[in-house]
Structures are given as C-alpha cells and as structure tokens.
Structure 1
C-alpha cells in the first residue's frame, strides 16, 4: 500500500504535452450529400455588441440528403423539437456569434462562438435541449468555484483545477419549443475516445496512458476534495485542451471559405461538426451533468460498462466509485477487450447485472463477507461461503495478470498492482485519487517514453 502524499502545485506535476505533439487540425465530419448547393440563410439577431458580426455564406456547402440521419439524429433519444435550431452566424447571449459546430450529445449540442465584445476571443457554447435538467449541473460548477481545504491551507490553487472544466458564463435561450440553458466555456479539443479511434491498433502506447490517467487523477483529486463524485469518468468525457488556439480562427475561416455540410429539415438546419486538435494540452475532465455533491449517495449511477459493484448491488456509495471507473478507464485505453463485459443480448437489467458480477467474480475472486453483508441483494449471487450462485454461469476463472496483453515483465506486474488498487471489492480498500497518482506504475516512465530508473 502506498503512503499518502499531498498533491500541491509545487509537487511533481506530470505533463504529457512534451513527448506528444499533434499538429493543429480541424476536419469536418463528412456525410453523403446531394448536389444541391444552396441552403437557407442563417439569421443575424440584433444586439448591442462591440464589433460587427460576420455574414457567413448562404451557399457553397454540401447539402445532405434529407433521408440520411446526421449527427444527433442518430441518437436513440433524439427529438428534433428538443434541440435548439442553431445556425452558423447566429448571435446568442447578446454578443456570441456562432461560427462552427463542435459536437453533440443526447442532452446538448456544442458550438464554437466568437465573443463580439472581445474580437479574437473564442468560447464554446454548450446548448442544452429544452427538456434538460441543467440546474443540477450548474450547481456543481458553482460548487466547484469554492476553494477546497487544501487551497485554503496552502494559499495556492489545487493542481487539479487545470484538469476539470470550468464554467465561465451562463444564459438562457428561448427556442420555438421551450427554453434552453447555455453554458459558456473555454473551447477544448477532441475527446480521448475520439483520439483513440485514430490509433492504428485501437489502443494507446503505455506512456501516453500513464500520462493521461495521471492528469485525470489530478482532476479527480480536486473533485473529491470538494466532495464531488463525478460518476461518469470515461474516455468520451476526457477532453484534450488546446495549446495552439489559432486552430479556432482556422475553423472560422474554413466556414467562410468552404462551409461545412448541413441538412435541412423544415426550419431546422443540422450542421456537421468539426474535429478539433490544436496541440496536446492538459487532459480535462468534462461533463459534470451526472456528478453528485456530497460524500454518501444511494441509487443507480454510472455508465453500465464502468458501474462499480456497490452501485449494482444498491449499497451506499461515494468517491471510490470514481476510482473503480479510473481502473476500467486505464484498461480500455490500453487493452482492446472490455474487462467486465455486460452481455449485449440481455433482455433484463437483472441478467445484465448478473453477467457483470459474474465476470468480476471470475477475475477478482469472490467478494469478502464484509462486502456481501452490506446488501441483501448479494444473496442472489453468492452463498454464505462466497461461492457463485447467480442466475448466469460463472465464466472460467482467469487471473487479472493473464488477461493483460500489451505489457510484459515488471511493467505488467506494476500495471496489475495498479488495477488491484482501483478494482477492490471493498470501496475503502481502493486508493484515493491522490494516492493513486503516486503509484509506481504511473511514476515509472520518464518524459522520453522509457522506463524510469
């Protein structure tokens, strides 16, 4: 077990930007398009602003066949009336002119905007669907503005603040079907998940994984110091900060010279997003919509593949669930196959839970009696001696070390030890974020990509 060490800004901070530098790129996500060159003009809304808005082209873009599903339309929960019908060129919030689309999700779309009061300042606008319960996420961002105990004691900012997304501004936007909350933030680059899809092997080199998880742990350390449980830590919610912000003006100019493809459905324009990478800056934890404030919680939480056993079994839970996610996150970045898969063919949540718990048991061994005694649901899966009796067969017992395919020798042993520090049945036996940050596997690589001495 590692001795606890204090994370301060003056302590060792691990940077991944020196060994890995990516060229600035902005590549529109393309879709099959018809030959029509024209589309409706984006409206310019009158506002009191400091500099003149730009008039974006009303033609010259690829028009996508209306029969094709594009971007957010592909999401199973999509409803056109829920999304704000944003168009490139719109001015919202009084002084933000939208210049490009950056992404989308089940509860929002994200847009690049230029602040017309500060001509060269770009901001990301997260525009929630009108049915989104944005108040909770807003309360989490407001809560995180308060100094944590360490900052008060050290009179210095926590190093994790560089690795958790901050909210700069907030306003409400009236749409045709309701009111939309808009979060204003510093623009970030692509997610770690998107970056992973660009890897030839589908996984990252170990040196990049250790640097990435180190930065994620700094962000978790800040959240946990503020009694915030993220509950949704995975590669889609880890964004790469920009070190070359000129890519943002490049995106704007590309929309002027060669507008991105779009689709027209009634009065709604579906724009195609840009991938953005302007250098490999700090890895930043985003999307706090599922975060919880407080030390102890109950009820379901977490994405199914990353769900901690105490959540599955309806036990009280807290910050250790993020450490469980951190262990599985590292595995997905480094290994091609999921560690604890839930069956995709299960017709019921009960069978899905059983498959996950069976996979955990086959790899980690049965949970200790102290854990089993915390929930009556455990009797459905293990008998008094801890033997599996769940409704699905137990997979073949396989040691964690035998499942590792990308590391060998000492690094493999250290990696397995790291995983065991995160994937303990008993939540209190998992290392904290700041303890895990100093684990030998993470600190065992030097900046040049080799093993440390």
Structure 2
C-alpha cells in the first residue's frame, strides 16, 4: 500500500494591529450631546462600547467610526487576516428581532443570477458581540462612499442634471427588480439610503492613517467613549441600495411602513400593501433628484391625523380625485372624500398645485416624458403603477444604465 504524503498548511500570517493614539484628540465636554446622544430615545447602555484600535474576532481592527443610527453604529475595520477593509455594523442590544438579518438570509437563498443583485448591499458575514448589557448583532459589509443625498447637497442648486438622474434611476430599478422578484419590499427607499460604491480602496487606508495622525474628537461617559464620526466624501461607482432594516418578505402586508413624508396612500389609509409602495417611492425619488424640492413633507409634527389630512389633500391636488375602486378599499377614505371622490377632509385642498406647474427643470418633450413617468408611478391604485421592470423601459429612461 502506497504511503500518503502528509500535507502541512501554514496558518495565514496576520498583520500586526496598529497603535492608535491615546492622547492628542479633542475632548468634548461631558455636558455636550454628540452623535447618537442626540437621537430621540437614546439609551447609552444599548450601544456596544466600541473602541478605536480594538481587534474584534481576532481579525477586524477598528480604525474609525463612520456613522450611527437609532439601531446601530458603523465602524471601518482593517481585516488583519485578508488585509482588506470592511465595515462593521454593530446593532443595539435592545433589538428584539433583527429584521434585516432575516431579509439577508432570505436573499441568500435566491440562487438565480440577476443583474440587479449587484445594486443591493451585500452581507459578507454576521456574528454576535457580548457587552456588559447584552448581545449585539454585527454585520460585516463592504465599505461604501457617500449617499446620493449628500452628493445632491453638494450640487449647484441642489439638483442633478437629467442624464445623471436617469442613470441613477436605472440602477435603482434594477436593484428593486431583484428584490421584488425575490419577494422583498424595501419600504424605505430614498436618497439617503442610496450609497455610491467606492472604486478605489485607497480612501479607506487614508481614513485609517488620518485617525492615527489626527485622532477623532471624543467624549467619555463612564467607561463608554463616544467618538465623532469621520465621513467619507468619496465614491464613483454604482449606486447601492442599503438599509434593509425596514424591508418585508412576502407579497402582501398591512400596518405602518415607510418614512412619513414618503408614505404611499394605501399605507396612510390602512389598506393592504405590496411592492407597489416601492414604486411610489421611485416616483418621489425621481422628483427629488431632478426638481430638488419634495412633493410631500411632514405637515404637522404634533398630530398624525392632521398630518395625514394635509398629505392626502396634497395628493388629491396633484393627482386628482381617487377612483371609486380605491375609495372602497378602506373605511378610512370616508374621512377625506365623499362617494364620488370629492374632497371633504378637515383641511382645505392646496390652491393651484399641479405636477405641471411644480415641474420647472425640464422643457418640452423631456418634461412631458418625465411627467408621464411620474404620473404612472404616483397612481392611486397600486396595481396600476409601473412595475420595476416596466419602469426601466419607460421612454424617459430608455432602459439604459
């Protein structure tokens, strides 16, 4: 019997972790609220007490804080094993159910190739970190650049040229088509959740070097350090749809969804809703990017009922009266319209508000195509809105990415 040669595999040599300064940074006064402390319902014990310079899971060295939200903080890490950069999204320990993780697990089961998958932020890995106050879900994700909203704010007049809007929407529609075919509804689509991919990782190495040369300002509260985020104003790659924390799996849902000013009428009126709510969002996104001023806003911060009335009144002014088929889907409609669709709500209809008059960026044929695109998305009846696939081939977009 021939002898077998024993193979020996050398372990991957880890990069040595770098030393980060313990002095030389601005110390923020303890009485001053910073970063996540400014969020409503902030709970300092809910966030993981991350430290810059720490090595997580024996491989990810934390090199900078990139941001925060109500349910997580975001950190740039240098992978000492793969010698690359990743983002750690560290969730609060009060998250009873991690919907985003459920959505990613569902998408991982989609094996069919789809050109839109690349426009959705991918999850490389996930694990759990323990703190004194509980457990924190952690996502390992590819670093991305600035949001489309940030880029828009840097533009002259706060708007994009038509050619850039068309390109952005084509990418968004491809990504949405992948989600919708996988039975996922995003529900939170707006320019702040569209990040621009990086084409050069050198910016990430620079962020790490900058943190060593000029360490971030910080504030200490007990054993917790709250760092000031470093924002990466970079990115020249494809748009990436991010933040699936509010996404739903399945074709039909009910209850609240969507940011208030972006809510589709079926959500406001407590009807069943499906992926057509995302197409309503695409219409509002297109308008925001091209015209600069949103069609709808938050009208009343104190009263949800009063705000809904103003919101629906503006919809009626811009889109015309809802058809009987829509009115019959919810008893809630009786508060705002009579049986024939005439407005009777508790607030007056806005005067002289039409899509035609509010659209000021384009002219002639381009304007007509754009308004046709908007009207086919901002339709009262969800089933009559363009799907992501049909919207991609609308004449205004031409189906070209």
Q: What is residue 360 of structure 1 aligned with on the other side?
A: 315
1:220 to 155, 170, 176: 176
Q: What is residue 11 of structure 1 aligned with on the other side?
A: none
- Whether 1:385 and 2:340 are equivalent positions in the alignment is yes
Q: Distance in 2 between matches of 1:69 and 1:207?
A: 41
1:172-321 mapped onto 2 (5 Å cutoff): 172-321=128-277
Task: Report the count of equivalent residues.
Answer: 390
- Whether 1:68 and 2:24 are equivalent positions in the alignment is no
Q: Distance in 2 between matches of 1:293 and 1:209?
A: 28
Q: Distance in 2 between matches of 1:392 and 1:72?
A: 36
- Whether 1:51 and 2:6 are equivalent positions in the alignment is no
Residues 333, 137 of structure 1: CA spacing in aligned structure 2 closer, same or farther, 3 A cutoff? same
Q: What is residue 4 of structure 2 aligned with on the other side?
A: none
Residues 192, 77 of structure 1: CA spacing in aligned structure 2 closer, same or farther, 3 A cutoff? farther
Structure with more contact order per residue of length (Cα contacts < 8 Å, sep ≥ 6): 1
TM-score (norm 2): 0.93
Q: What is residue 20 of structure 1 aligned with on the other side?
A: none
- Whether 1:413 and 2:343 are equivalent positions in the alignment is no
Q: What is residue 430 of structure 1 aligned with on the other side?
A: 385
Q: CA deviation at 1:167?
A: 0.8
Q: CA deviation at 1:134?
A: 4.8
Structure 1 gap ranges (5+): 1-47, 152-156, 448-453
TM-score (norm 1): 0.83
Q: CA deviation at 1:93?
A: 2.6
Q: Distance in 2 between matches of 1:402 and 1:314?
A: 30
Structure 2 gap ranges (5+): 1-11
Which sits farther off after the overlay, 311-320 or 74-83? 74-83
Q: What is residue 74 of structure 2 aligned with on the other side?
A: 110
Q: Secondary structure at the match of 1:168?
A: strand
* 8 Å CA contact 2:146, 2:234 repeated in 1: no
- Whether 1:126 and 2:89 are equivalent positions in the alignment is yes
Residues 87, 81 of structure 1: CA spacing in aligned structure 2 closer, same or farther, 3 A cutoff? same
Q: Deviations over 1:189-226 (max 9, x none)?
A: 11112222222312222222111111111110000000
1:328 to 277, 284, 289: 284
